[in-house]
A and B are shown apart, each in its own frame.
Chain A
Amino acid sequence: MPASVLQIEDISKTFESREHKVKVLEHVSFDVYRHEFLCMVGPSGCGKSTLLRMLDGLEPPTSGCVLFNDEPITEPSPEISMIFQTFALLPWKTVLENVQLGLEAQGISLQERKERAKKYTEAVGLSGFEDAYPRELSGGMKQRVGIARALAVEPEVLLMDEPFSSLDELTAETLRKEVLEIWSAPSRVTNTFIMVTHNVHEAVFMADRILVMSARPGRIVEDIRISLPRPREKYGHSEQFYSYEQRIISRIEQYSAPTPT
């Protein structure tokens, strides 16, 4: 058994406003192992994004706890980094300045900051665009900036919140392969990837393991190991790939009727 990086122990989450309480997660427990590519799929509103934010310490659980290398997570740390669906770039900063965001917060010297930002900008194929502003970039390029920004802090774990869902399919396809390359490159510090998606095909294509979640309040209803060999391009239309997809889709459908709270 490989060592677990993250341990999620019996997490529940309830959002409370003055008028109503919404229970979004209920008794969620799982482990994430080193070098793993984990996907979480489920119907919209099942709390998978909330779960991801708890792994980063952005959102505290109502009960239960998240352990990172056996320490409880209470606030965001540079060891865990995140990629956003809407890219979340600062429009007034250039590509290079956006990539430096996390380094700046850590108080790294300007010289080193620039060098590291350059290195990762190059790594995601954006050389020549260092001084461009986000608005001058296509969606795919913006997400590359998001990826470079997340990698630049050299985290152990990379969280991705539907990273490809606001891109066109061709761009998404290319970026998926690139993300997999980054993940599988042996020299990288960042080697544990956790991705939230509602695209089942994407999940089967990328993940070692898929957690299927029920509709609100979200629970984990299935934990599937994907044992297709990599790279998986040639298996996209195989019997085995299809049966994984079918199994996940039927699970999601089975649990998509919201249970009364």
Chain B
Amino acid sequence: MTIGGRRRISAITALPIVPVGAIVLAQIPILTSSLNEVLSYPFTAGFFALTWDNYVLRTMIRMVSAYALSVGFALIYGITAGISKRAEQLMIPVLDVLQSIPVLGYLPGVIVLFLSLFRGSIFGQELASIILIFTGMVWAVTFGVYGGVKSIPRDIIEVAHAFGIRRVKYLKDIIFPAIYPPLISGSILAWGGGWYFLVACEYLSFANTVYTLPGVGFYIFKAALDGRIAASIFGLAIMVVLVGVINRFVWHPLMNNAEKYRYESTATPSHRRRQSRLVRLILRKLRIISQDLAKLAEPVLALEHKYYPLVVRFRHTHLLNNIRASWQRYSKPGRIAGTLIGIILVAIVFEILVPPRLPEVVRQFIFRKEIALIPGYAVASVSRLAVGYLIALAWTLAAGILIARSERLFNIFLPIFDIAHSVPALALFPIVLSVVIDYFHGAQIGLEIASIILVLTGMQWYLLFNIIGAVMAIPSDVTEASKCFGLKGFKFVKHVILPSIFPAIILGSIQAWGGGWNATIASEYINVANHTYHVAGLGYLLDISVAAGDTPLVLATIGIMAGIVFLMNRTVWHYSLMRASKYRFEA
């Protein structure tokens, strides 16, 4: 790599500079006034003079602590689940359920626990914030570690046994090297998630109290809430720089270093493309992560398929068939008698075992008016997510295929997207909201649109990056064969590209819906400049119940939300994933 080569700006990259430059020049008066606004904002002044480094430092300490906790948890949990067949059967489904709970779903529990433990001190608040960030990071890392252990080839395990490598030495020489690459992939995803929720984790509101923790995320959100948009964007810029620096100096070197621990090389460099070092690096990252994700899906699916077929293969449920078969062996009076006995047994158990007070509490709870709202709210949230998902899928499919097929577009857009996806969209909500509401003159439809936009930002990157990674991973022999046989344009997309990327679309969709649910909570309810806006949905319900400290309602809402996520994963997505295995190229 010559320095001259890096500095050379090709004509095509220079082209957009002219109009962009003109627009920028035209904005100078606005910019200077914005700058004035940033500097005169009392909050910023303090930000610069006293606490600039402290804000960044505090945020970094929170992120690093949460990450360290995540790695510790992941190593213990992931390795245990990966090694022990018996533990795996329980641990992986549990992990799957915990993962389905949106980050803010953990908020009430965490706050109550840590504030009571530390009597409301700052230390308690800090710990609560760290634990919340942890709940956003830990699942990707843990699944990475588990997948790494599961990916150790059988012959390597046999070699280890044959040469008497055991216990600590086995851990050190076999397990750790195997989990290193997927651990790094998982960590990159985890940090992305961490940044996304940082804003929410530094501005906690529970039981009519707001706990603020000084940091970059807090700054961005506070400024946006105060209507100081320029200051908020300034904070965002600092965060993006921070994300970029950490990627450049931590994750990219670690990722390159991890490559030598792989049993088979995954990302083959496409040496014929003219790409800058940066583009190649981002591309490698996409490929590695998407391939690790695909590999990870296999053991989890196999496990579910084996031990929990009921939910996955709802069409051929052996258990139900067995019950029906044994049921039909009895005569009709026998069946009726059996049913009656069953009902009586259940009633007795209910009467004896359930403490008398509980049904009363449950009844009171069930007949609350909020509970009746849940089904409608669930439908509203799911519809909003579905709309966001369809929009995201449409644009990312078109853009992903176009970009991956064109060297020029690829070189221009990949670095842009890599930066764009690290912008925490949650922080943008107040800004988006004020713009959209202005446009629609405060109509409810404006709020609805702002909410869908935010959900979209929480979903789209997962899809886009999975799609680009998959298009780039189509074996060159296959694309050549298609070209050789004259498959072009739409036919090529239909017969080769779409089927090839189908598994990646499903994996991306699972992540996208996870991200979408998290965004829902933040996007359905907000208080800007003493004015609350909300749209009907589970996120809104969770927000108000959390704010009011209404624990039963919080639990009910989280339960429903996690239930929907879990069911969708187990039915729609995992079923599609199993069908998708047909679309994988053989190694």
Contact = CB atoms under 8 A, between A and B. Distances in A.
A135 B1 CA distance: 42
A102 B495 CA distance: 11
B480 A90 contact: no
Contacts, number: 78
Contacts of B488: 105
Given A76-B486, A81-B485, A102-B485, A53 B582 contact: no
A17 B274 contact: yes
B50 interface: no
Nearest to B477: A88
A86 B477 contact: yes
Given A91-B583, A104-B491, A58 B496 contact: no
B93 to A, nearest CB: 29
Contacts of B487: 101, 104-105
A134 B585 CA distance: 10
B499 A90 contact: yes
A53 B478 contact: no
A87 B481 CA distance: 9
Nearest to B499: A92
B272 A19 contact: no
B584 interface: yes
A19 B276 CA distance: 9
Nearest to B491: A105
Contacts of B20: none
Given A18-B275, A105-B491, A82 B484 contact: yes
Contacts of B495: 90, 101, 104
A16 B274 CA distance: 8
Contacts of B351: none
Contacts of A58: 480, 483-484
A25 to B, nearest CB: 15
A76 B499 CA distance: 23
Interface in A171-187: none
Contact of A84 (B273, B477, B499): B477
B576 to A, nearest CB: 14
A85 interface: yes
A76 B275 contact: no
B274 A18 contact: yes
Contact of B585 (A19, A85, A91): A91
B376 interface: no
Interface centre among B271, B480, B491 (most CB of A within 10 A): B480
A254 B482 CA distance: 37
A86 B275 CA distance: 27
Contacts of A86: 475, 477
B264 interface: no
Nearest to A133: B582
Contacts of B484: 56, 58, 76, 81-82
Interface in B560-586: 582-586
Given A104-B487, A105-B488, A18 B1 contact: yes
Contact of A85 (B271, B477, B478): B477
A56 B483 CA distance: 10
Given A86-B475, A105-B491, A19 B486 contact: no
Contacts of B32: none
B313 to A, nearest CB: 20
B5 interface: yes
Interface of chain A, helix or strand or loop or mixed? loop
Given A16-B274, A19-B2, A90-B496, A105 B486 contact: yes
A153 interface: yes
B485 A17 contact: no
Contact of A153 (B276, B477, B485): B485
**Most B Cβ at <10 Å: residue of A17, A56, A78, A104:** A17
Contacts of B585: 91
Among B272, B483, B491, B583, which residue has the most Cβ atoms of chain A within 10 A?
Answer: B483
A149 interface: yes
A235 interface: no
Interface in A49-88: 53, 56, 58, 76-78, 81-82, 84-88
A91 B272 CA distance: 26
Contacts of A17: 271-275
A106 interface: yes
B2 A76 contact: no
Nearest to A152: B485
A242 interface: no
Contacts of A133: 582
B271 A15 contact: yes
Nearest to B584: A91
B5 to A, nearest CB: 5
B274 A88 contact: no
Contacts of B486: 76-78, 102, 105-106
17 contacts: A17-B271, A17-B272, A18-B5, A19-B2, A53-B480, A58-B483, A76-B484, A76-B485, A81-B485, A84-B477, A88-B475, A90-B496, A92-B583, A102-B486, A104-B491, A105-B485, A105-B488
For the complex of A and B, the 10 pairs showing the least CB-CB separation, nearest first, are: A102-B485, A105-B486, A88-B481, A88-B477, A105-B487, A82-B484, A92-B499, A92-B583, A86-B477, A76-B484
Given A76-B486, A90-B496, A91-B583, 10 more contacts: A17-B274, A18-B276, A81-B485, A82-B481, A86-B475, A88-B481, A101-B481, A101-B482, A104-B495, A149-B485
Interface of A: 15-19, 53, 56, 58, 76-78, 81-82, 84-88, 90-92, 101-102, 104-106, 133-135, 149, 153
